[in-house]
């Protein structure tokens, strides 16, 4: 976008951008009228139920489908071998990380099942109940193999191998060492090293994974309805696996009932559903149930990290070292791999502070558990917890207040641009302003005074803070150099309809965060329309321009910029037609609330309906040399930087019952800086929802496996998530530092809440336990773990 356009945007009368307008699609969603993938029905639709491996690791000696096939309503039983005949296996590689091992993965197990829950065979039947009933009649002969569950044991020389054709279970290793280690060491007065542990947990979208695939043998076209954030990525994955052209596949994401990253991966079982549709040439549907979700949705975090922070006597953070180990399941998840969680821990840890020295190691191990992938705030909650929990632990030892030690260490707000030792480039952050705002909002001095008073009465409250950095608006660097077909580009096309209204088709998607509303607000302001006259189309590869979709907090920032550019071009097109009609120059005209007329005048304005009427039905009224352009497109890839960083601060206030170990959350605060705010209500609720998931990680959520790789808590009875009764009110405030990497200036806001909340809650727990000289470094902080930390139980 030219400097002129940037100036034009700065001068724009904003009547939508920046305002807390309700979401247009909330009307439909709130009436219960949404259509999610499980609601999709097609003529002749068949239903798929998967036979999943009950073993973490076992050889499949034989599969006998005959009894199942004999049952009424059963149409077919499809095995892993059947699909292997038509499928090219995935290998989740990144070309720039040749050390990452990428074993082949088929849509269903071939020969060996490598985690409990891996699909082994599929029953296709007239109804889901008939298909599920028939699963009991598919007889599989198993040979149990030793399961590799614990990542440390997986890396032992004598460990059984997850993949027979690989020399060991080490999937990936990476090391980094930067800065002046000798200098840092010489100045170190306090060195804290702690073993952190972050449980495996998962996203639990309330709408489970679901897919409907239907093949048209005449057109040779596959149509897929899928609960996904990234329809074009699914298109590319199906094309790669089954040898179709991208554009032979139409992927439609209807309403999506929550995703949080869970629904941006390519799941083998969903690829199996597409393969079954191709084999049978019949429409087929699969909807995961909750147990299947727990054993086959990607899991995340699951890391043990030895972390060290070195400080001088004044509390200046000098150096950090991390050594992280994670089990990633049997494969690196296609197509984005399972490296990012760990690699982002390696690059983000300690980044709010100007470290003198940094070193880190990451090891990823194959194991016989569900695959690990990207869940909201990939890597961030771990990275933030390592630096933030250690800095408050150090502050207590040095007798420095938690706010004060941040003020001494945070990069000054005028220090930017800044490049961290790990190579992250910060364009402009506002940590000090955010901290000041936070301290004011929570009335920090009063809370501290109250805490001291209550302690005298045996009431133990804790206050914990966390600085947050979030990487958003990713550029193409990773997947381009990695040679992976994940697009960092987004596209938007705006067209004038014959009734004078406007349709805007855009490649980003909406799972409730409000992308649809935000795009409507941008288009309305930039093109000069009323938001109600702009209809947004998303989530259909046949209707929208190509683009990445929703991941990495990029919808508003990258998709929004594409929309801005399309809207600016659309406005120019309309003004050209209007100028011809009004016999003036486009520069003398503007569009306001859908009416075109002379700048600064409300006289003689014409509406877009009139423009459409002339352009479509009476173009002979226009000059003969004008062939009007009635649609316009805009595309955008963030090319300035690898990522655009946001920052913020969070704080947690809680009360700890030291007899029971139960934490009662009292209040939570967040100040965030996501650049230009398109709709503050949407940003607030992204923060709150993200914080809720971060609190879940801190206190409740854990996929519990036994030593044989069996998940033992695969239901919402046994897997705890935060509820309305356990969560506190969450106060949100904003600081706005627009990014200069786009005209719009918006950064992402979807993940910062999840990134920072676990650290804030852990600091508050450790603060509450400080009279007992106890600290905890294992997430989630269950009552049992807290009582152990307090030494009340053995």
Partner 1 sequence: MTETTVSMTLNGTRIEGRVEARTHLADFLRSRGDLPSVRVSCEYGVCGCCSVVLDGKVVRGCLTLAVQAQDRDVRTLEGSTAETEDLRSAFVERNALQCGYCTPAMLLTAHELLQTKPDATREEIRDGLSGNYCRCTGYHAIVDAVAATAERRKGGVDR
Q: Which residues bind partner 1 (CB under 8 A)?
A: 20, 22-23, 26-27, 29-36, 38-39, 41, 129, 203-208, 255-260, 289-290, 511-514, 681-682, 684-685, 688-693, 715-717, 721-727, 729-730, 753
> CB 207 → partner 1: shortest distance, Å?
5
Considering the complex, state which of residue 289 and residue 440 has its C-beta at the smaller distance from partner 1.
Answer: 289
Considering the complex, state which of residue 137 and residue 406 has its C-beta at the smaller distance from partner 1.
Answer: 137
> CB 695 → partner 1: shortest distance, Å?
8
Considering the complex, state which of residue 316 and residue 726 has its C-beta at the smaller distance from partner 1.
Answer: 726
Considering the complex, state which of residue 151 and residue 512 has its C-beta at the smaller distance from partner 1.
Answer: 512
> CB 713 → partner 1: shortest distance, Å?
12
Considering the complex, state which of residue 323 and residue 470 has its C-beta at the smaller distance from partner 1.
Answer: 470
Tokens of 589: 């005209």
Tokens of 109: 């197990």
> CB 295 → partner 1: shortest distance, Å?
14
Considering the complex, state which of residue 34 and residue 626 has its C-beta at the smaller distance from partner 1.
Answer: 34
Considering the complex, state which of residue 341 and residue 684 has its C-beta at the smaller distance from partner 1.
Answer: 684
Task: Answer for the pair 738, 17: CB distance below 8 angstroms, yes or no.
Answer: no
> CB 372 → partner 1: shortest distance, Å?
20
Give the 3-state secondary structure of residue 1.
coil
CA atoms 428, 431, 437, 442: torsion sign? positive
Give the 3-state secondary structure of residue 717.
coil
Residue ranges with strand state E in 20-133: 46-52, 58-64, 74-79, 112-113, 119-125
Considering the complex, state which of residue 366 and residue 375 has its C-beta at the smaller distance from partner 1.
Answer: 375
Straight-line distance from the first to the last Cα atom of the chain, in angstroms, rounded to the nearest whole number? 64
> CB 730 → partner 1: shortest distance, Å?
5
The per-residue DSSP string of 486-532 comes to ---EEEEEEEE-TTS-EEEEES---SSSSHHHHHHHHHHHHHT--GG
- H or E, element range at 214: strand 210-216
Tokens of 461: 């409250």
Cα–chain center distance at 704: 23
Considering the complex, state which of residue 38 and residue 107 has its C-beta at the smaller distance from partner 1.
Answer: 38
- Under 8 Å CB-to-CB from 724, ≥6 apart: which residues? none
The per-residue DSSP string of 116-145 comes to TT-EEEEEEESSHHHHHHHHTTSEEEEEE-
Of residues 603, 604, 621, the one with CA closest to residue 612: 621
Across 419-454, b (16+ Cβ under 10 Å) vs e yields ebbbebebbbbbbbbbbbbbbebbebeebbeebeee
Considering the complex, state which of residue 256 and residue 378 has its C-beta at the smaller distance from partner 1.
Answer: 256
ω into residue 417 within 30 of 0, thus cis? yes
Task: Answer for the pair 378, 261: CB distance below 8 angstroms, yes or no.
Answer: yes
In three state form, how does the secondary structure of 31-50 look?
A: CCCCCEHHHCCCCCCEEEEE
Give the 3-state secondary structure of residue 82.
helix
Cα–chain center distance at 41: 29
Considering the complex, state which of residue 128 and residue 788 has its C-beta at the smaller distance from partner 1.
Answer: 128
- The Cα–Cα gap between 642 and 471 comes to 9
Beta bridge partners of 202: 299
- The Cα–Cα gap between 440 and 150 comes to 45
- Under 8 Å CB-to-CB from 31, ≥6 apart: which residues? none
Give the 3-state secondary structure of residue 339.
coil
- The Cα–Cα gap between 670 and 747 comes to 17
Cα–chain center distance at 594: 36
> What Rg value do the Cα atoms of the chain yield, rounded?
28
> CB 472 → partner 1: shortest distance, Å?
19
Task: Answer for the pair 380, 348: CB distance below 8 angstroms, yes or no.
Answer: yes
Of residues 37, 143, 24, the one with CA closest to residue 530: 24
> CB 199 → partner 1: shortest distance, Å?
18
> CB 299 → partner 1: shortest distance, Å?
16
> CB 511 → partner 1: shortest distance, Å?
6
> CB 624 → partner 1: shortest distance, Å?
49
Considering the complex, state which of residue 640 and residue 726 has its C-beta at the smaller distance from partner 1.
Answer: 726
> CB 757 → partner 1: shortest distance, Å?
10
- The Cα–Cα gap between 309 and 315 comes to 11
Of residues 480, 474, 485, 378, the one with CA closest to residue 90: 485
> CB 356 → partner 1: shortest distance, Å?
38
- H or E, element range at 765: helix 752-769
Considering the complex, state which of residue 564 and residue 683 has its C-beta at the smaller distance from partner 1.
Answer: 683
Residue 479 DSSP symbol: H
> CB 712 → partner 1: shortest distance, Å?
15
Considering the complex, state which of residue 206 and residue 218 has its C-beta at the smaller distance from partner 1.
Answer: 206
Considering the complex, state which of residue 52 and residue 785 has its C-beta at the smaller distance from partner 1.
Answer: 52
- The Cα–Cα gap between 659 and 458 comes to 11
> CB 592 → partner 1: shortest distance, Å?
26
Of residues 648, 191, 612, the one with CA closest to residue 465: 648
How many residues are recorded in the chain?
A: 794
> CB 227 → partner 1: shortest distance, Å?
10
């Amino acid at each position: 976008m030219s400097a002129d356009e940037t100036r034009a945007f700065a001068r724009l009368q904003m009547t939508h951008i920046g305002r807390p307008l309700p979401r247009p699609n909330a009307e439909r969603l709130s009436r219960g009228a949404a259509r999610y993938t499980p609601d999709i029905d097609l003529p002749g639709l068949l239903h798929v139920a998967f036979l999943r491996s009950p073993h973490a690791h076992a050889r499949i000696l034989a599969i006998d489908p005959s009894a199942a096939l004999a049952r009424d309503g059963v149409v077919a039983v499809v095995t892993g071998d059947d699909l292997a005949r038509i499928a090219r296996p995935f290998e989740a590689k990144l070309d720039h990380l040749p050390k990452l091992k990428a074993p082949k993965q088929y849509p269903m197990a071939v020969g060996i099942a490598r985690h409990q829950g891996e699909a082994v065979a599929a029953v296709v039947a007239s109804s889901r109940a008939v298909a599920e009933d028939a699963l009991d009649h598919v007889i599989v002969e198993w040979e149990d193999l030793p399961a590799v569950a614990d990542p440390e044991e997986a890396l032992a020389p004598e460990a059984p191998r997850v993949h027979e054709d690989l020399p060991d279970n080490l999937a990936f290793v990476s090391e980094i060492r930067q800065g002046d280690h000798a200098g840092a060491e010489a100045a170190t007065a306090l060195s804290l090293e702690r073993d952190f542990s972050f449980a495996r947990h998962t996203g639990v979208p309330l709408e489970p994974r679901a897919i409907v695939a239907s093949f048209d043998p005449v057109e040779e076209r596959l149509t897929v309805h899928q609960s996904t954030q990234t329809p074009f990525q699914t298109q590319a994955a199906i094309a790669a696996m089954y040898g179709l052209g991208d554009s032979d596949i139409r992927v439609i994401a209807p309403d999506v009932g929550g995703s949080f990253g869970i629904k941006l991966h390519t799941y083998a079982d969903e690829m199996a559903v597409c393969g079954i549709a191709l084999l049978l040439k019949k429409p087929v549907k699969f909807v995961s149930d909750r147990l299947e979700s727990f054993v086959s949705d990607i899991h995340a975090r699951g890391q043990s990290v030895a972390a060290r922070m070195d400080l001088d006597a004044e509390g200046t953070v000098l150096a950090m070292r991390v050594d992280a180990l994670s089990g990633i399941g049997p494969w690196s998840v296609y197509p984005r791999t399972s490296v990012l969680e760990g690699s982002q821990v390696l690059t983000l840890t300690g980044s709010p502070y100007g470290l003198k020295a940094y070193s880190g190691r990451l090891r990823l191990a194959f194991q016989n558990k569900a695959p690990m992938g990207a869940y909201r705030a990939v890597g961030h909650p771990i990275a933030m917890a390592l630096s933030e929990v250690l800095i408050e632990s150090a502050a207590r030892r040095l007798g420095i207040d938690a706010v004060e030690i941040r003020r001494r260490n945070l990069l000054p707000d005028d220090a930017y641009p800044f490049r961290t030792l790990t190579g992250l480039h910060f364009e402009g952050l506002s940590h000090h302003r955010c901290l000041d705002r936070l301290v004011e909002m929570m009335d920090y001095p009063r809370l501290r005074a109250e805490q001291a008073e209550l302690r005298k009465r045996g009431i133990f409250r804790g206050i914990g803070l966390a600085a947050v950095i979030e990487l958003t608006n990713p550029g193409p660097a990773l997947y381009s150099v990695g040679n992976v077909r994940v697009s960092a580009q987004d596209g938007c096309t705006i067209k004038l309809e014959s009734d004078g209204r406007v349709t805007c088709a855009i490649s980003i998607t909406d799972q409730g965060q409000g992308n649809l509303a935000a795009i409507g607000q941008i288009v309305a302001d930039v093109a000069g329309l009323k938001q109600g006259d702009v209809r947004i189309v998303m989530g259909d590869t046949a209707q929208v321009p190509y683009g990445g979709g929703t991941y990495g907090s990029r919808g508003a920032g990258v998709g929004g910029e594409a929309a801005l550019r399309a809207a600016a071009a659309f406005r120019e097109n309309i003004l050209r037609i209007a100028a011809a009609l009004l016999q003036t120059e486009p520069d003398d005209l503007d569009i306001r609330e859908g009416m075109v007329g002379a700048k600064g005048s409300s006289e003689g304005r014409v509406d877009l309906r009139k423009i459409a009427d002339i352009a479509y039905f009476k173009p002979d009224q226009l000059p003969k040399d004008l062939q009007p352009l009635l649609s316009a497109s805009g595309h955008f890839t963030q090319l300035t930087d690898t990522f655009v960083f946001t920052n913020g601060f969070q704080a947690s206030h809680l009360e700890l019952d030291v007899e029971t170990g139960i934490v009662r959350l009292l209040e939570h605060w967040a100040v965030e800086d996501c650049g230009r705010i398109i709709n503050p209500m949407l940003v607030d609720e992204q923060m709150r929802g993200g914080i809720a998931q971060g609190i879940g990680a801190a206190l409740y959520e854990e996929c519990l496996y036994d030593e044989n790789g069996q998940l033992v808590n695969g239901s919402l009875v046994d897997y705890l998530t935060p509820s309305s009764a356990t969560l506190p009110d969450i106060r949100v405030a904003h600081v706005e530092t627009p990014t200069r990497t786009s005209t719009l200036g918006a950064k992402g806001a979807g993940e910062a809440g999840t990134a920072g909340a676990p650290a804030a809650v852990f600091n508050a727990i450790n603060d509450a336990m400080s009279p007992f000289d106890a600290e905890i470094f294992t997430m989630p902080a269950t009552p049992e773990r807290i009582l152990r930390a307090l030494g009340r139980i053995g």
